[in-house]
């Protein structure tokens, strides 16, 4: 199952991570980190998240993540998906509310694989 394959990957980027501990971008970042994932925050609005460097874009990361977790609107997500494809990132985890038909078609057209689920539920 694709969800299990992605969860076995250990290097993730949370696109839309933020500093508000009540919001999903922050909760997902903290959960992945607490479960031993190497996780990177991506959000051009912040310099740091939870004391870690926050990066402006996927291309600014020190490593290429194996999976990106999308916590942004489909409109904001489209250029991120393009960037992921350019960088050779194959796996996209879509949180509820982060995708529409256009984004799903873009992911398919670029040959990426996606899961639509809440990572907070999936990560045990």
Q: Provide the pLDDT for residue 124.
A: 87
d(CA 102, CA 108): 10
Q: Provide the pLDDT for residue 11.
A: 98
Q: Provide the pLDDT for residue 43.
A: 98
Q: pLDDT digit of tens for each residue in the chain (124 aa)?
A: 999 999 999 999 999 999 999 999 999 999 999 999 999 999 999 999 999 999 999 999 999 999 999 999 999 999 999 999 999 999 999 999 999 999 999 999 999 999 999 999 999 8
Record the pTM: 0.97
Which residue(s) pair with 73 in the sheet?
none
Q: Give me the CATH number covering residue 31.
A: 3.40.50.720
d(CA 89, CA 67): 7
| Count of structural domains, the chain | 1
Q: Provide the pLDDT for residue 42.
A: 98
Enclosing domain of residue 85: 2-122
């Amino acid at each position: 199952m694709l969800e299990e394959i992605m969860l076995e990957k250990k290097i993730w980027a949370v696109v839309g991570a933020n500093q508000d501990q009540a919001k999903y971008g922050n909760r997902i970042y903290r959960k992945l980190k607490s479960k031993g994932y190497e996780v990177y925050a991506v959000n051009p609005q912040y310099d740091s998240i939870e004391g870690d460097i926050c990066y402006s874009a996927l291309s600014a990361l020190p490593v290429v993540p194996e999976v990106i977790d999308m916590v942004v609107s489909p409109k904001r997500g489209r250029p991120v998906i393009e960037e992921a494809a350019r960088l050779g990132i194959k796996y996209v985890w879509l949180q509820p509310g982060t995708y529409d038909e256009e984004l799903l078609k873009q992911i398919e057209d670029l040959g990426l694989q996606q899961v639509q689920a809440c990572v907070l539920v999936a990560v045990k």
